[in-house]
Structure 1
Amino acid sequence: MDVIPRIHHISAIVGDPNENLKFYRDVLGLRLIKQTVNFQDPSVYHLYFADQDVTPGAIMTFFPWTNRNYGRKGSGQGGRIAFKISKGSLDYWYNRLISYGVQVETTQLFGKVTLSFEDSHGLDLALVEGPDQSKKQEILGFYGTVLLSANPEKTKELLTEIMGLKELAHDNKNMHFETVGKEHHHIVIPKIPQSIGRFGIGTVHHIAWSVLDINILSQWRLKLKEYDLGSSLVLDRNYFKSIYTKENGKIVFEFATDGPGFEIDEAKEELGSALQLPEQYESKRSEYESMLVKLEV
């Protein structure tokens, strides 16, 4: 069976949807590619962002809560999310973030110089230069992410022995891994088990890993069971099919197919321009539209 080549998407909980839209569209320059709803709670948006070309492995999604229920960062969550930028563009991005009033700190993460900051709802973000230069000053997808594990050694075992990630380095604080696909997504796990987190605004809900198709997804479901990891049924998310598991470090992992993709209900140039509902909610469209905050697209 194929190993995991890359991150499929990362999903986080944020606050006001228009504040979320303005930050990721206007400050970071990402593209809103899908307005839909949380399939478990259609009164809440599920917003998808990507780079301008909607590159696979570059999808960031959000559940915008409007109840002011902030979370507590800790085990069972993803940590800081790092986006890749062009080689030589750190100064450009530092100045851009400062111009928008974002507090930025120059740090070290993934063994590289990193711009660390928070979004408008306290979500931990970073920018890291990739190996290639580009004339476009744009986000080029994910560089990687931190995983906040309650059992770092068990999470490491899953990543390396089952999912096929490569361990790059470790020091007295962190373990550092990399996916084997062409994206080379980087994963850092703090060695010290993290205190228990609580989901809410400003926290990462889950990390989704890319698999080719439904056949490979079904194989992963069986493989997880072999390693005594529970798995959900295969779920249809319209744009992909997926399964969920909670690994031994208490982090929610999703395994998601690459297809059918985001153009099944909108043309590429129109992605994100209108609310798309799954078939089971279409009959109550007017009710859900009245509950959702109107997006300033």
Structure 2
Amino acid sequence: MTGQPLILGEMPSLSKLYVNAAATAARRRILGSSAAAVLPTVSHEVREVRPDVEILTAYQHLLGETASDVLPAGFIHALAFPVAMSVMNRDDFPLPLLGMIHLRNVIEYRRPVTFTEPLDIVARADALRAHRAGTQVDVAVEVRASGDGASGKNSVCWCGVSTYLAKGVFLPGIDKASAAPAPQAFSAPDPTALWQLGVDTGRAYAAVSGDFNPIHLSVLSAKAMGLRRSIAHGMYLASRALADVGAVKGDAFRWEVGFEAPVFLPARVALDISTAESGEGGWLRSDYVAWSPRSGRKHFSGTVSAL
């Protein structure tokens, strides 16, 4: 990431960001929106972020991660999420934050990070582009050990790019020819696991991630946002699949996930994980895919590979 960041004095409050996003959406409905296809050039940074060990323990228990002082890759995403959200909540961000659909994540976990390490988190928006259903954007995040930034060394220990879709929003000046293609047909394999997700899954993940987006919390709050029922957090699903991949992934890996269809709660989710090894028997990658055993519709898929 380049350019002088905006240093935030404290971690942004997700609840306040959602309230502000709702107010911004109402204002734009009343006054109209003349947003141009230009992203803010400034990044946001919070320094010396210290994970809470009790929340870490609760996260590990909920997701099925091994109890450890090492932060899971999905936990770091949740830790950094408020900084990323603050970028999308800026007045000069051209897309509406509320209703944004999570499409994809690509994460590199470059070395183990322990809960005792204070961390610097930097986020910025990038790559505004067309989608067949609207406009998509990337939010890039880097996490490094506090104090390493001035050393000139490549001290990034975790980095991720999240891709979001503003459905139905078509900004002027964006080439629609670059829109992403439609998903390919899916044929469900034999599952290696079957998850039973209760109606409280969204609330349970919100308690350990801090993401209390109304679409995840209850039938009533989801209906207020235009959904028939609450849906599971995408990163809960992806992080649980990553936990199911297990310790074979080692200390450094690349983690990719693409989301296709939401999981309405309560739900049963089928999962298949397949592993590829090198000729010497070393682990190379694990591919995973999850779907509805009732309808056969794919929910998400991804890959965990060695760095």
> Highest Rg: 1 or 2?
2
> Counting helix residues as a fraction of each chain, which structure ranks higher?
2
Q: Which has the higher contact order (CA 8 A, sep 6+)?
A: 1
Higher share in strand:
1
* TM band (smaller chain): under 0.3
